[in-house]
Amino acid sequence: MESLEGPNILAALWSHWFPAFPVPTVLLTAWLIMGLLIFVALLAMRRVALEPGRLQNALETALEYVVGLSRQIAGPEGPRFAPLFATLFLFILCSNLIGLIPGFVSPTTNLNINAAMALIVAGTAEFVNIRQRGVAGYGKHFCGPPYWLAPMFIIIRGMEVFTRPLSLTMRLFGNMLAKEIMLGVLAYLLTLFFFSHGIIFKLLAIVPFLLRPGILLLGVLVGFVQALVFTALAMSYIGAAFAKH
């Protein structure tokens, strides 16, 4: 998937500077996004003012939205995890959008990146669940009630713990992979038609050329929606751990 639309800029630079230390392209892109987010956060912290500038105003607006959404979905305890939710949303959003730039690849088209984020969410939810119930109570809720159906409940709730990170991983992976495939197919068709010998085929090159802006706009929408869905599901999983059973 990393070479559908041509060579990757980060991979080419890394192989030139550090040929003896190969790193996957998606990991390089993830490092780049993390570095940019940390840089923007530090820059905003240095210029905090009562009358916020554009950067501070944008970050405060995003944080207020995440806090409000976490309170709505996860309940009163949701804002405690606002830093986690905001980090997930911004990282996933930037990861989704960077793949729309030629020469870059979305880290969210890689199962390992998505699985790591999903495991963080699932692990946090189970940790909160254990703290709320205690170890004995956490083990007890796997068995019922009613407790005479304990074998069935153990299987069902065990599968629930397993399928939560799996569904988070595959939902994000499938949607972003579909976007990458569509862009790659359009780039392939544009190249194929443009360098063909027949005049009719050369004229057909205008079709993928005209379709690409629409796919890019759709990619922006899908990237935002998937970042929001992943974050909202993380809120619901963690918020469920605080619910009284």
Helix, strand and coil content of the chain, in percent to the nearest 5, comes to: 80, 0, 20
Residue 4 placed within a domain: no
Ranges in the chain, pLDDT < 50: 1-6
The enclosing H or E element of 5 equals none
Q: Given this model, what pLDDT does residue 244 score?
A: 60
Look at residues 56, 54, 78 and name the one whose alpha carbon lies nearest to residue 67. 78
**Residue 136 near residue 53, CB atoms below 8 Å:** no
Percent with pLDDT over 70 in the chain: 92
**Residue 83 near residue 98, CB atoms below 8 Å:** no
Residue 186 placed within a domain: yes
Q: Given this model, what pLDDT does residue 5 score?
A: 46
Domain assignment of residue 214, given as a range: 9-242
Residue 129 placed within a domain: yes
Residue 188 placed within a domain: yes
Q: Given this model, what pLDDT does residue 89 score?
A: 93
Angle, CA 1 vertex, CA 194 and CA 209 arms, to 5° = 25
Q: The tokens of 59 are what?
A: 């970050």
**Residue 33 near residue 107, CB atoms below 8 Å:** yes
Q: Into how many domains does the chain fold? A: 1
Residue 175 placed within a domain: yes
Residue with tokens 């595959």: 170
Q: Given this model, what pLDDT does residue 47 score?
A: 73
**Residue 184 near residue 4, CB atoms below 8 Å:** yes
Angle, CA 137 vertex, CA 141 and CA 88 arms, to 5° = 75
Three-class secondary structure of residue 136 per DSSP: helix
Q: Distance between CA 108 and CA 58 in Å, rounded?
A: 24
Q: Given this model, what pLDDT does residue 201 score?
A: 66
Residue 32 placed within a domain: yes
Residue 144 placed within a domain: yes
Backbone angles phi, psi at 49, to 5 degrees: -145, 160
Q: Given this model, what pLDDT does residue 7 score?
A: 52
Residue 1 placed within a domain: no
Q: How far apart are the first and last CA of the chain?
A: 45
Q: Given this model, what pLDDT does residue 103 score?
A: 78
Q: Is 27 left (phi over 0), alpha (psi -120 to 50) or beta?
A: alpha
